[in-house]
Structure 1
Amino acid sequence: MFLRRLIASGSGKLFLIGDNLPVHHSVKVSWRVEVHRDESELFFLPRDAPEDNPNESPNNPLKQQMSGMPHDCHV
């Protein structure tokens, strides 16, 4: 739904940059980008590349801390 609205709202070609979250590699996302390949293009940041993704480094300590927490624990 989000991608459909994003493509529809654009006036030119849409360049999407994904951060390798598994959902960004889903069949639905791939299909939607392929169907609209004239209107959109999808690129991915390299995996584990904090120099290319400044949001990755600040979140690492939190991710590591939360990975050791029980699943029913809420922050």
Structure 2
Amino acid sequence: MRSDQVTGRTWGAKGATPVVRRTGSRFSVNAMSAISTRGRMHFMVFTETFDTKVMCRFLARLVGHFDRKVHLIVDRYSAHHSKTARTWLADHEDQIKLHFLPSYSPELNPDELVNADLKRSLPHTHQARNQAELATETRRLFHRRQRQPHIVRGYYGTRHVRYVLDENPMSF
């Protein structure tokens, strides 16, 4: 999530381009999430760069919520298949298994729909003035989606990700 991303809509006089005032400050926060076909969502918002260390921290938190093996669909981002990640996964093979999507196929990744929803849902009336406020707003939106399992289940209704419902590898 970036402070300077365009969110929402506005209006302007016919024939005139509307001007939306911004602070000029540029800052961002990162987020990752895992969703299930049952409508559960787990997430983590962080300010550091997404790397293997952050990914393993998220995976450790994720498997800590379950008493059975978690199956997670991931893209082929370098942190997902780095040597450190493979070592961590080997040490936790009884708790989690990653299923890799084909290269260059974001339309097959259900979590991309979460990202799109999050960016679309950011309220354009509230402008975060700093990184901490942006992180708080991002967490608030994720918490709202956690309380709306019908919306999370709805991400799997799009034609490109329906394959998950047939195979159901990550039913947490």
Q: TM-score, normalising length from structure 2?
A: 0.29
**Amino acid in structure 2 at the alignment position of 1:4:** A
User: Deviation digits for residues 3-47 of structure 1, max 9, x if unmatched?
Assistant: 111112212111121111111111222111111111111110001
Q: 1:47 aligns with which of 103, 111, 116?
A: 103
Q: How far does residue 49 in structure 1 lie from its aligned partner after superposition?
A: 2.7
Contact 2:71–2:99 (8 Å) recurs in 1: yes
Q: 2:89 aligns with which of 33, 48, 65?
A: 33
The 5-angstrom pairing of residues 14-29 of structure 1 reads 14-29=70-85
User: Residue 3 in 1 paired to residue 66 in 2?
Assistant: no
Question: Could you tell me the percent identity over the aligned residues?
Answer: 38
Q: CA 1:50/1:3 → structure 2, altered by over 3 Å: closer, same or farther?
A: closer
Contact 2:73–2:109 (8 Å) recurs in 1: no
Unaligned runs of 5+ in 2: 1-56, 113-172
CA distance in 2, matches of 1:46, 1:12: 26
Over aligned residues, Cα RMSD in angstroms? 2.3
- Equivalent residue number for residue 73 of structure 1: none
**Is the partner of 1:43 in helix, strand or coil?**
strand
Structure 1 residue runs of 4 or more that deviate by more than 2 Å after TM superposition: 49-55
Contact 2:74–2:98 (8 Å) recurs in 1: yes
Q: CA 1:53/1:39 → structure 2, altered by over 3 Å: closer, same or farther?
A: closer
Contact 2:74–2:100 (8 Å) recurs in 1: yes
Unaligned runs of 5+ in 1: 56-75
**Amino acid in structure 2 at the alignment position of 1:13:** K
Q: Give the number of equivalent residue pairs.
A: 57
Q: TM-score, normalising length from structure 1?
A: 0.60
Q: CA 1:53/1:4 → structure 2, altered by over 3 Å: closer, same or farther?
A: closer
**Amino acid in structure 2 at the alignment position of 1:40:** I
